[in-house]
Amino acid sequence: MTFTVTYAQRDGGGTCLRLAGELDLSTAGELNSTIDRLVTEGRRELLLDLTELTFCDSTGLAAFVRGDNLVAADGGWLRLTGATGPVARVLQVTGLAEVLHHGRDPADPAASAAP
């Protein structure tokens, strides 16, 4: 399955990135580039909606951590929401679900979006 990342400004502030497909060694660069571009534009609050992400390897996890470190260095945050199945499991096993405040409902990320 092809990896895609799209984004839009959220009504409550911040930017929501929707990831779909498989996030791995061959596709993590696309996510990193998108996050870099958003940070260059001054966006510091990033919510990653993983509802349609079907796979995530260690390179994908590293992209999440890299993005979080990038925005946190300037007072921002990166949060995850919507992960299910194997993606949710890898976030739980690695501890990133807790570190990046993973929430289940992408429609209401307020609880998971607070730093």
> Which tokens go with 98?
């807790």
pLDDT of 79 higher than 70: yes
Predicted pLDDT at 83: 96
For residue 38, give its domain range.
Answer: 4-113
Give yes or no for a contact between 73 and 42, defined as CB atoms under 8 angstroms apart. no
Within 13 Å of residue 39, how many CA atoms lie on the same side as its CB?
19
User: ∠ CA 94-80-114 to the nearest 5 degrees?
Assistant: 110
Domain with residue 95: its CATH number is 3.30.750.24
Predicted pLDDT at 102: 83
User: pLDDT tens across 36-73, in order?
Assistant: 999 999 999 999 999 999 999 999 999 999 999 999 99
Predicted pLDDT at 13: 83
Q: Compute CA 56 distance to the chain's CA centroid, rounded to the nearest angstrom.
A: 11
Question: Would you list the DSSP string of 59-101?
Answer: HHHHHHHHHHHHHHTTT-EEEEE---HHHHHHHHHHTHHHHTT
pLDDT of 114 higher than 50: no
Give yes or no for a contact between 43 and 37, defined as CB atoms under 8 angstroms apart. no
Please tell me the total count of domains within the chain. Answer: 1
Question: Is 107 or 92 the better-scoring residue by pLDDT?
Answer: 92
Helix, strand or coil, per DSSP, at residue 28:
helix
